[in-house]
Amino acid sequence: MKTNVVAAIGTFDGVHLGHRAIIHRVTELARNVCGHSLIITFANHPLSVVAPGRCPLWATSRAISHQLIRQAGIANIDTLQFTPELAALTARQFFARLRTQYGVSTLVMGYDNTFGSDRLASPSEYRAAGAAEGINVVSVDPVTTPYGVTASSSALRRAIAAGSPIDAADILSYPYTFEGPVIHGLQNGRKIGFPTLNIDIRGLQPLLSGVYAASFIDGEQALPAVLNVGCNPTIAPNQPLSCELHVINTDLGNRYGTIARCQVHRRIRGEQHFDSLAHLQSAINADIKSALS
């Protein structure tokens, strides 16, 4: 077991500006004490156990969040399955586990970070509980965007649900990005000359229905694309919500079963019903022109 570990714990959903401030503090303190940096995160959202009715969808995938955490300079990530047994631990019991299982000597906590069945109410209470188990607790203040929005995963999900990838990017400090497996759809896009990747976004917060300028991330390439989120009211009405990506002027071939990663830049228009396929094709051509501008 490592010792002298500086850690933080949380969902780190999206790794937004507030998360980055916490990660920066972790790496800074670890460097100052010649210690090890560690982020402890969860495979499932804690609210899925504590309050399932209030459990949010993820803003982005666990894989993207982990990649961003590592890119920010964290040496080690440990992913826990949040369980009823974990939820039953008091804050002090959880501190004891951090000390014995991970060798944590310092825990960095965000302004809204809480844990423990005893529901401690203030940073001073967490500092006292940590000190009782030999752990120094360091608090990090909230971070706001240039437009005065406090960076949080809930604010990020609201921006996504409102169809505002620009606001989401302000909270994240990078373009809003999501990914999911490519699945079989109705292949209607291909039939009208605009083949799409049908991306499975179950478990993720969907964008507001509409058409978006986007990029398909293919390795180091960012290929221009148009993203459609909606229920296909013209071609196949009354279908479940789908997420379809048309990569402009590019034949991607068979991508079924692979993971497609998409950056979303701006909303072009809302979802519309067209009177004919010709009108739909004309609108898609206009969307492509807008996405390329």
Q: Quick one: pLDDT at residue 237? A: 64
61-105 residue pLDDT tens: 999 999 999 999 998 999 999 999 999 999 999 999 999 999 999
243-293 residue pLDDT tens: 999 999 988 888 999 999 999 999 999 988 888 788 889 889 999 999 999
- pTM listed for this prediction: 0.93
116-131 residue pLDDT tens: 999 898 999 999 999 9
Mean pLDDT over residues 14-36, rounded? 96
Alpha helices in the chain (DSSP H): 17-32, 47-50, 62-71, 84-87, 91-97, 123-132, 153-161, 165-172, 188-191, 277-292
SS3 197: strand
> In sequence order, what are the residues at sequence separation of 6 or more whose Cβ sits closer than 8 angstroms to the Cβ of residue 79?
40, 41, 42, 43, 62, 66
